[in-house]
Structure formats: C-alpha cells, structure tokens
Amino acid sequence: MLTLEDPKKATASEATLIDSLLAEQKQLTAVERFSQQHENSSQILQEKSYKDLIPIRKPSTGEQYSFAVDLDKCTGCKTCVVACHSLNGLDKNESWRDIGELVSLDSPDQQTVTSACHHCADPACLNGCPVGAYEKMEDTGVVKHLDDQCIGCSYCELKCPYGVPKYNKDLGIVRKCDMCHERLAEGEAPACVQSCPSGAISIQLITTDEIRANAAKQESIIKGAFRSDYTLPSSTYTSSRKLSESMVPGDEHSIKPSHAHTPLSIMLTLTQLSVGVSAADLMTRWLASEWSLSLQIPLCVLAVILGLTGLASSILHLGSPKGAWRVFLGLKKSWLSREIILFGMWMPVLLGHTALTIAGQNPSSLPDWLPTITPEILNLSAISTVVLGLISVFCSIMVYVDTMREFWSLGKTTSKFMGTTALGGAISLLALSLLFSDSSPFIIWFTAILSVIGKIYADTISLKAAKDSEWSFAKRSALIQLRSLRPTMIIRWVMMTLTIISTLIAVFIPLFAIIAILSLLAGEFFQRQIFFQAVVTLKMPGHLER
Amino acid sequence: MKLKSKLLKKIPSIVEHSGPKTRQLLRTPGKFGLGQVPRSITPDYTTTMVCGFCSTGCSLNIHMKDGQPVNLTPDSNYPVNLGMACPKGWEALEPLKAKDRATTPLLRNKQTGELEEVSWQTAMHTFTDKFKAVQEEHGKESVAFISTGQIVTEEMAFLGSLTKFGMGIKHGDGNTRQCMATAVVSYKQSFGFDAPPYSYQDFEQSDVIILIGSNLCIAHPIMWQRIEQNKLNPKIIVIDPRTTETAIAGTQHYPIMPKSDLTFFYGIAHILIKNGWIDNDFIKSNTNEYDDFATHVEKFTPELVEKESGISIEQLENLARTIHEGKNVSFWWTMGVNQGHEAVRTAQSIINLALMTGNIGRPGTGANSITGQCNAMGSRLFSNTTNLLGGHAFDDPAARTKVANVLEIDETCIPEETGLAYDQIIDGIHNGTIKGLWVIATNGSHSWIHQDRYNKAMKKLDFLVVQDMYSSIENAELADLVLPAAGWAEKDGVFINSERRIGLVKKLATAPGQALSDFNIFKLVAQYWGCGEMFKKWSSPEAAFKILSELSSGQPCDFSGIQDYDLLESNRGIQWPCTKDDIAGLTTNNERRLFADGKFYHQDSKAKFIFSDPVPVAEPTSNSFPLILLTGRGTSAQWHTQSRTGKSEILKKLYPESVYIEINPSDAAKLNIEPNQMVKISSSRASVQATAYLSNSVQEGQTFMPMHYAKVNRLTQASFDPYSRQPSYKFCAVNISTTL
C-alpha cells in the first residue's frame, strides 16, 4: 500500500495506477463481449408496433397518403419530434415535426397538437416557389422538396400557413417533411408514426375529393390552424371529446417579433424609392420640362444607385443564389417569380433611360451615326421605366399579400410600399431641386407634405388595434410594434422627423437635402423591418415561448 | 463526342432531383433488425443498454459506427418499453458530446478564485490532504458525502463502502432523498422491506388504475404506453390538484386541494368500511392493526373530507364505488405523494387502501410507488447510506458480520448506526459540525429545497469536492475541486428500475479527456486515501456486481442467482428476487410481481396498517403570501436540473427557454396580470421573475412552476416528512406582483 507523506513526490506506482485507469477508460469492450442477436435479421423488429398504423396498399388514382392524428391518444410526450430528428439524420436543432398545445382560459381543457407537413392538395409552398423546388408526387401525394433545386429564398416559409418549411442556415436552403415516403414505399412507417408510444399518429389513404369535402365541412383542420380552403391540407385530427370553443394555441399571446429579413427590407425600400424617384423624373418632364432640365440627370442617377443597391441586396437574401437563374419556372403561379423577372426587366430599362438622358443632354459627345435623342424618345423611356417599376412594386406588394397574413393585406401593404414610392419621389425631388435648381415649386412641397401625412397615417393606423379589447392578429401586430419592437419604432420615427426637419432647413442650407434623403432611406428601411417583424406568423398551435 | 457529353454535364438541368444536398438525407436499410436509417450513420453493429434518465428503465438499441455510438433507437424486444422511448431516451447520446464536459480535474486557485486544470495526481493528493486535515481538526464525522440515483449500482456500493468503511465517514446521503425516501420508509414499515410489488404488466391487467400525484404521461410516458396497451378498457382515475396531461387523458379526475391527500384517502377508507366494501379474509389472514385503523378513519367523514379536499361527497362516494367495483385495482403514486410534509403516512394511506380491498399480489393490483431516477432502486439497496449494503440495517450485528465477511473487511469498520439525512447534513454545515463535503453526480445548488440556504452552506465549507460529467453545473461553480466523471454509456454497470428489473449499462463511448468512470475515481481515492487494499476485491464493475449479488443473498431482494452480466443480457433484464432456482422460469415469465402468496416481509409475514392524524403544512398561505406554489416536472423533454437534457438542441425546442409560472386566469384577473407578462413571485425566502402562463390546469389560489429552472427552488420552503426526511416540494406560500 502507498504512503503519501509528501504529496509533491509522485511515485512510480501512483502514476501507473492513474495511467492504467485512464487507459482502461479508453477501452470499449461492450460490443465485443455482447453479441448481437439480430445481426443478420432481415425482419424489421419494430414492425409489430406500427403495422396497423400504415395502409396495407398503395394510393390509387385520386388518392394520397395523409397524416391522421388521434388526439385522444396524444398525451404530450413529444417523442415524435425527436424521433423525426434522429431517424432522418437532421441537423442539431432540426425536426420536421412540431408540437404545440391548445389551452382554454375558461376550462381546464388542454390538448397537445403534433403536426408535420400536411401534404396539401393545393400546396401554397409549391405555388409560391419561384424555382419549382417543390413537387407533388403523383403516386403518393407527398409534397416533396427538392433540396438541390432550392435557392433558399424562404418564400415558402411565408407562403405555408402552417409554418412547415424551415430555413436551414448552414445549408442555405429550406427543408421539410417528406412523410418518409421512401420508408412507406418499403412498408415501413414514417419516423413519427413508428416512435409514438401511444400510436396516435397514423398514415391513412385519402382522396382529393375527401380533402376538399373536409375543407368545405370544417373551417380548419384543428383549432388555431389556418382555414383549410387555402391549401387543402390532407392531415386529419380526430377526437372523441369536443375541444372547447374557447381553446387557443399555447403561443397565442406571444408577441415575439418575426424574422427581420434585412436584405429584403433593403431591397424593398430601395427599389420602391427608386421607382418613386423615376416617377418624379417623369412628372417633372411632363409638367415643367424646362425647369426639370437640371434635375433629370441627378434624378436618374439617384434612381439607378438606389435600384442597383436594392437589387444587389436581394441576392444577399438568397441562401443558395446559384440556381436563381431558374426563377422563370414559377411564373405561372408565383408572385415572387414575377417580381424577380419584372425587376430584372425594369433595371435595364432604367439604365437605358438614364443613359439616354445623359446622352440627350450632351449631344456633342455622341458619335454622329447615332440618331438624335428626341424628347419623345426620352418621354417614352421615362414612361417605360416608371410603368415597369410600378408593376414591379405591385408584384412586390402581391408577394406579401399572397401569404394571407392579416398585417400584409392588400390595403396595408400597398399603403406602405406605394407610400414609400410616393414619399421617395416627393422628398428626392424636393431635396434635389434645393441642391440643383433655383426654385422648388409649391406643388412639390404640397406632394411631399401629402405623402408625409399619408405615411404617418399608414404607420399609426396599424397601432390602433393595441387598444382593442378582442385579441386578434391586428392587436398582436400592434403589440409587437409597441412592445417588442419599441427601439426600431423609435428610430423609425426619429428618422421620419429628421427627414422633415432637414428638408425644411435645406431651404436655407441646400446641403441639408442630403441629410433629408439619407434619413428618408433609413426611416423607410426601419419601417420595412417593422413590416417583416410585426407580422403574426401563420403556423400550427405552438407552446409558450419567451 | 466526349466534349459534348462533358459540356452537357456542365449544363445544369432545369430540375435537380439529386445533388449533394439531396444526398445528405438519403436513407438506407439499417440491418440488425432496424428499418431504414440515415445513410451517413448506417451502423456497423448495434448493442442494447438501459437508459440513464428515469426509473422506467427502457432499453435502447445503440447504433455503433467505427467504434463509437452514432445514433440510437428504442429496443423493440425489451419487456419494459416494447420498442418505444421518450424524447430524453432518443436524445440520450447527445449530452455526452457537450462542450462543457469536465475533461480534467479542476482545482480552485485561492488567489484568483478561478478553477484551474490540474493533474489527477494533484487532484488526488489535494482531495486526501484536505479531507484528512478536516477530519483531523473536526473529527471523522466532519466530512460527509451526497450521492445520487444516477450512477450504476456497483459505483453506489463502492462509494458507500469506501466512504463509510474506508474513510471513516459517517454521514452520507443521496439525492434519492428528494424522490424515493418516502416510498422506502412506507414500504419498510408496511411490508417489512422496501419492496415495490409490481411489474409493468400490471398496467395492462388492471381494470381500475388509480394514479396519485403522478403525471405519468409526462414523467413516465413509456409507462403510460403500457396503460394504452390495456385491453380491458380500464377506468383511469387521476388524483392531482392540477389538471395535468394525465388528468386529461384519464377517465376520472379528482382535483384535491394541495396536501389534503392524507385526509382524502382516510375519507375513502371510511366510505369503503362504511359500505362493507372491504376484503375481510385478506385483512384477517394477511394484515395487522386493521381494527385500530378502522377506528382511526371513523372521524374522516365525507362531510369533513369534502371540506378539506374540495371534492364533493358524491364524487368521494363515486371513487370508493369505483374501487369496490373494480376486479383488479392498482394504485400508483409518484412525487405528488412522496414530496409532502406527511408523505410517508400518505403513501401508507394508499397502501392501506390496497390492503383493505385485497388488491395486492394479483395481476393488475398493488400499492405501487413509481420511482424517479434511473437507479433510485439501486441506491435504495446499495448506496450504504440509510441502509447497510443490500437492504440490511446498520444496527443489526448479524448483518454487519455478513457484510464484513462478503467484503472481506474488518467488521469494526462498519458503523453501527445510520448517518444523517441530506437535510441534516446541510444543517450540519450551517451549525459547523460538517466542514468537508463530497458531492457526486447531483446538483443540489439547483435542486435542493430553499436553494439560497443550500448555497450558503456550500460557501461555508472548508472543502467542497464536486464529481460530475459537467464542470458547468451550478454546484461545481462553488466547488474547491472538480473531478471529471465519465457518464452513462461510458462505463459498465447495472441500474435497477421501478419494477425491480436489473438492467445493463455498457461502456461503448469514449469519455472525453481525462474523465474517469466514478468507479475508477473511487478506486483512485481508495488508493490515495490509503485504503486501497481494503477494496482489492472491487477490481471491476462486474467483480463488484458479484459482491452485490452475494450481499443480496437471503434478503427479499435476493438476486444471488445472477452472477454475471451475461445472464442479464440474455434475459433482457431480470427483476429481483432471482435466486438460482428462479432462473429457469425466466424464459416463460420475465415480468413478475411480489406477494402472490399474501406473505409480506415482517416477522409474522403480515402487512401492517399504519396511520396517524394529519398535520397542517409547515407554511400555510397568509395575507402576505396568499397563493400556493406547486413545483414538478415541466415536460417529458426535461430532466431535473437540465445538466444533461439542456445539452440537446432538439429537446430545447420542446419547452420554453426561460422559467414560467402557471396562474389560474381568475387569479390573474384579480392581480391584473396579462398573458405572457413578466411577473415577480415572492416567498418569504426570495423573489424571482417569471413569465405568467395563464392556465386552468391550476386551480384558483394555486400556481405551478416547473422544477427544471434553477430559480424555482429559491422560493420553495424547506419542510420535511418526519419519517423519510423527504423535502416537501409540493406546497409553499407565495405572492405574485406585476411590479418587477
């Protein structure tokens, strides 16, 4: 036995014991020792627990697979979420199944709600995808995401009213549930089905007609879910007890801001401002062609700078921009596809118009063989720029309107986006006229003041709902702005004020016009951040968060 | 041609059905009886072992690739879990890979106050020097240890023997005090031995299942699965102040007032007796003290019980009738009972119901305590804290001789009495009698009741050693020395589950850095302390298992028939008792219950009715603190202090990130609390902030906070059951305000 009188003096045998224990710790002997009983088994041992939970035959024409959840059996263990993650080899925090709950403030009733993709008959993700990265499989009805086709624009995240597709930052694409269709093809159950200790999730065959009938019969597949007639979800939720009417999702009172989508905020702000500047250019050409002469080039150049920066920023939004050339694939249904294509057409026209304007004002620098640039040509190019620009902004509006979110309704989005265009045009014109011209006609002042008032109105009207007694999407959006986004709101209003003040000062000190334009940019940018963050994300019932 | 095909390859197709990102998610047949698995982690081989979280004791099939575990699926053929696992089980491998694993011993630098890496040699020298110095100055009893229900049985026994027989330590206890102590004392007093009588099959064979203070759906989802397997369309009765997931899933719910349980069960006994709904034959031949018990419950009239519990007379009678009409009634209880100020008597009032109605020993019956931690049962038998190794008593000379003989040690090394309980050790630190503490695989700085007082005690110590998988746990932050321990799946040994099943844990993952299994750390300590010779028989976990098997011989928990791990492996776990004679029968029946013959473990083979008058809670509500705070499990994805489950990103998605409090909407309305608002909760000990979650799952006047968030135990009030010394986490008085 050791005697350890002097702790500093390590003896050989001490070291030996520690070393041998450390070495022993590295030896993994279990597997050599305990042989596997099922090494060569071709039979799947788990089969017995799920064979009644999947159909015995494949879907026939007009039929598809669907998830059916027996709410009576689901007791909230949440295993399905983790098993999906493990059995599908997903990333650390990735699962294609989500869990939430319905709770009531009037009774002790509660219900856990498990959900994955509803493999809709009319999938919004598929309809919205600009590059055709979704397919509705003919034989199974599974809505399949093509990972290598995806450009990571995340639009499907906004389009799906159930919050199913999720962006994977590391991969730069979205991924989603494929109902383990390869397992089903081999007679195996999907991960969630085979892991549920209560057998609450099963796969059923359902016809498209039944899906339609269900959507017509009941507003949504379960309380708290979006109305079914939008995408025709195939999942069914059944319960022997009637879920109480007062039930709300566990995250109903969440006022957590949604994703800010900064590159998109920049893109939207700048393209809308740019179109506004072009519109100002056109207006002055029409209404005061003499006076406008000194402003035409500055306006065009400003529009180009804003527009190009905006479009460049939109590329930063994409997780996998390499495949973005495929954006024409979605033209038939996707507003995003249309928006990208149209902005893509608008920019060359704007550049051409700018070139013509510059050339038109410097005819001597042009080679002789070029035809003369007549005012008619310039008017035509100015009109084309503005018309294309406005259609593009309209597409931008529709991109959001088409996501069915209350905060992004046609009226609200149009007032915000077109408001930016109007304000951008008016303020830029005013600022540039103070910088480059001798006079600023009253009409410009009038337009500028009008658009400022319009903007203030559009912004504040959305806050009114905060005082509603009824809990609603509008109230949530208002509370998100007033509470969670308070700093952004303050900056937005400071910038707005700064724009007004510096425009006024610019009457005396023209250089302040630059501050006016910069603060206008910033103010509208933060407004657009609020646009993205204050929206209530449509999703399946979730749980308390904060 | 070649050029053309090359060019074609370069041109991307309009639709990409495959590519590197698609390939990431391909699945492939897993072999080994598995279905399809992710192709990137297709196993080379698989092996099964018992899960290391709760006491259900599920078996997990570990997928091995290149010598390391890469994935797991629940074991399809284990009699416990039948191919299922809860979220924690599915994620059991994830905590092993955490970045904050303790990888070297850490010693606190007195100057900087920081923990610094040291060699094992320095760590062991410091350990022995410091503790020996404390013992020399303040007496041997001034060093104590606090152990766990989370390490394997062999390690528990080694720790208990090393400390008590080798190091002269008298006081040691486990965190099992927080979960199982009540069941232990109740069974011991009622049955004569700490013996949960059931097998999980009883869930399937019962026509009336009574769950008391047990949120089975969340706390033990795989046991709930067994209820789902029940083909008898059973009545599922849930007795719980909260409308839990289980209460919703059950068929009858009795939301009794918090801690009115003892009165409630006496009231049920009263009605059963009044109606003659009792099993006189069973009572007469198999029990003692029934008459006194019947007299005792006379005063618990339905009127009184209605007033105390809030359950109407009609409902009380309905419950009694349901018990009477059930053919096989099983009673199951968990922490709602065990963690009470009069928990032992409450547990016994449940046992009494089973005894008086003859619902014990038959399939689908029993007074059944569902255990908490994976190895709480191992701890109950072999931690050498309350009991002498193998469920023996320290004050029994014959037992001491037996243990000394098996261990081949000098009998005089064995203390003749039990040491202090957990709460008494903390008291001992406060009053200066305990100066050194060794904490193993538990995190009292988070979990112990009245947390601020616990942490104050930690700071008072002359020397605190924390031995754990993680150097980041709250308790380690206060330690003078941190010893890095290997975790579950990084070492061999056995766990004993709730139904007494001994299951294997295997060493199949490499522990990080210089982390050692607790077993090997004890070996080192023994050597450095100078008592290595005494434990030379404990050469390996399996050698230790043989010692334990020998120690169990002749006891009710006799598993002397099991001599090695292979038998456990081939039989898919074995319940105790299991003598040599029982082995043959295992192939036909591996799910066994106790007391089929009506014989209990008291000298006269009879069970005993035990009862006493209810007493008020230690901290009733008051004007300053008008609300009751209940604590308990939040979700099935969280385990205790979250030192492990908090490491899994996927589990984190399944519960709120920060602490919340469930408040009844009508209380919230009175206090002007809006949903999701941040509120301040105060008890007479501390104030903490939490998000208000308005929910009718708590009754008016009551609130609930999940125990997994460290702040919660700053509020709880340290009162204890007088017999089991188990802390009462299920009642304290708080106030809520919107002024933060």
Is B259 a domain residue?
A: yes
Q: Which of A49, A77, A180 sits opposite B221 (nearest CB)?
A: A77
Is B361 a domain residue?
A: yes
Mean pLDDT in residue range A314-343? 96
- How far does the CA of residue B392 sit from the closest CA of chain A (Å)? 30
Note whether B412 contacts A: Cβ–Cβ < 8 A.
Answer: no
| Residue A544 to residue B72, Cβ atoms within 8 A | no
Is B568 a domain residue?
A: no
Q: Report chain B residues whose CB lies below 8 A from the CB of A30.
A: 47, 49, 492, 506-508
Tell whether B674 and B694 lie within a shared domain: yes
The continuous run of DSSP H or E covering B654 comes out as: none
Last residue of a domain, one of B59, B92, B125: B92
- Interval B72-112: pLDDT, tens: 999 999 999 999 999 999 999 999 999 999 999 999 999 99
Q: Report chain B residues whose CB lies below 8 A from the CB of A41.
A: 31-33
Q: Report chain A residues whose CB lies below 8 A from the CB of B39.
A: 89
Q: What is the pLDDT of residue B595?
A: 97
Q: Report chain B residues whose CB lies below 8 A from the CB of A86.
A: 71-73, 90-91
Q: Which of B64, B71, B77 sits opposite A31 (nearest CB)?
A: B64
| Residue B121 to residue A10, Cβ atoms within 8 A | yes
Is B539 a domain residue?
A: no
Tell whether B352 and B496 lie within a shared domain: no
Is B330 a domain residue?
A: yes
Place A38 in a pLDDT band, splitting at 50, 70 and 90: low
Q: What is the pLDDT of residue A39?
A: 65
Nearest residue in chain B measured CA to CA from A544: B656
- Interval B531-576: pLDDT, tens: 999 999 999 999 999 999 999 999 999 999 999 999 999 999 999 9
Tell whether B357 and B238 lie within a shared domain: yes
Tell whether B364 and B408 lie within a shared domain: no
Note whether A49 contacts B: Cβ–Cβ < 8 A.
Answer: yes
Place B306 in a pLDDT band, splitting at 50, 70 and 90: very high
- Structure tokens given for A534: 């204050």
Nearest residue in chain B measured CA to CA from A325: B14
DSSP three-state, residue B549: helix
Q: Report chain B residues whose CB lies below 8 A from the CB of A83.
A: 90
Mean pLDDT in residue range A517-531? 95
- Alpha-carbon distances, residue B155 vs A162, B104, B378, B490 (angstroms): 49, 20, 10, 13
Tell whether B353 and B222 lie within a shared domain: yes
Query: How many domains would you assign to chain B?
Result: 4
Is B189 a domain residue?
A: no
- Residue B421: other Cβ atoms inside 10 A: 20
Q: Helix and strand tally (H, E) in chain A?
A: 18, 10
Q: What is the pLDDT of residue A1?
A: 39
Tell whether B725 and B677 lie within a shared domain: yes
Note whether A1 contacts B: Cβ–Cβ < 8 A.
Answer: yes
Chain A interface, best mutation among B10, B16, B37, B222, by max A CB count within 10 A:
B16
Tell whether B38 and B147 lie within a shared domain: no
Q: Which domains are present in chain A? A: 48-249 (3.30.70.20), 262-459+473-533 (1.20.1630.10)
Note whether A56 contacts B: Cβ–Cβ < 8 A.
Answer: no
In angstroms, rounded to a whole number, what is the distance separating the alpha carbons of residues A150 and A168? 11
Q: What's the mean pLDDT when you consider all of chain A?
A: 92
**A236: which strand partners?**
A68
CATH number of the structural domain spanning residue B35: 2.20.25.90
- Structure tokens given for B233: 């369309």
Mean pLDDT in residue range B439-468? 98
Burial label, B342 (beta-carbon count in 10 A; 0-12, 13-18, 19+): buried
- Interval A396-443: pLDDT, tens: 999 999 999 999 999 999 999 999 999 999 999 988 988 888 777 888
CATH number of the structural domain spanning residue B217: 3.40.228.10
Note whether A12 contacts B: Cβ–Cβ < 8 A.
Answer: no
Is B566 a domain residue?
A: no
Name the B residues in 506-525 with CB < 8 Å from any A CB: 506-511, 514-517, 520, 523-524
B441 torsion bin: left (phi>0), alpha (psi -120 to 50), beta (else) = left
In angstroms, rounded to a whole number, what is the distance separating the alpha carbons of residues B525 and B128? 8
Note whether B58 contacts A: Cβ–Cβ < 8 A.
Answer: no
Contact B269, B244 (CB under 8 A): no
- Interval B581-590: pLDDT, tens: 999 999 999 9
Q: Establish how many alpha carbons lie within 13 A of residue A486's alpha carbon, considering only the half-sphere containing its beta carbon.
A: 3
Q: DSSP letters along B309-334, please?
A: H---HHHHHHHHHHHHH-SSEEEEE-
Angle at B93 between CA B89 and CA B98, to 5 degrees: 125
Last residue of a domain, one of B310, B334, B369: B369
- How far does the CA of residue A334 sit from the closest CA of chain B (Å)? 17
In angstroms, rounded to a whole number, what is the distance separating the alpha carbons of residues B137 and B116? 27
Contact A292, A279 (CB under 8 A): no
| Residue A49 to residue B517, Cβ atoms within 8 A | no
Note whether A115 contacts B: Cβ–Cβ < 8 A.
Answer: no
CATH number of the structural domain spanning residue B725: 2.40.40.20
Mean pLDDT in residue range A140-149? 97
Tell whether B720 and B649 lie within a shared domain: yes
Tell whether B165 and B273 lie within a shared domain: no
Q: What is the pLDDT of residue B637?
A: 96
Note whether B490 contacts A: Cβ–Cβ < 8 A.
Answer: yes
Contact A273, A520 (CB under 8 A): yes
Is B464 a domain residue?
A: yes
Q: What is the pLDDT of residue A32?
A: 65
DSSP B37: E
In angstroms, rounded to a whole number, what is the distance separating the alpha carbons of residues A182 and A190? 9
Burial label, B453 (beta-carbon count in 10 A; 0-12, 13-18, 19+): middle
Q: Report chain A residues whose CB lies below 8 A from the CB of B524.
A: 17-18, 21
Nearest residue in chain A measured CA to CA from B676: A253
The continuous run of DSSP H or E covering A301 comes out as: helix A289-317
The interface predicted TM-score of the complex, written ipTM, equals: 0.95
Last residue of a domain, one of B307, B341, B369: B369
In angstroms, rounded to a whole number, what is the distance separating the alpha carbons of residues B559 and B552? 6
Tell whether B441 and B327 lie within a shared domain: no
| Residue A49 to residue B76, Cβ atoms within 8 A | yes
In terms of residue numbers, what domain contains B724?
A: 627-737
Tell whether B236 and B283 lie within a shared domain: yes
- Interval B166-191: pLDDT, tens: 999 999 999 999 999 999 999 999 99
Angle at A118 between CA A117 and CA A121, to 5 degrees: 130
DSSP three-state, residue B64: strand
CATH number of the structural domain spanning residue B503: 3.40.50.740
Tell whether B399 and B477 lie within a shared domain: yes
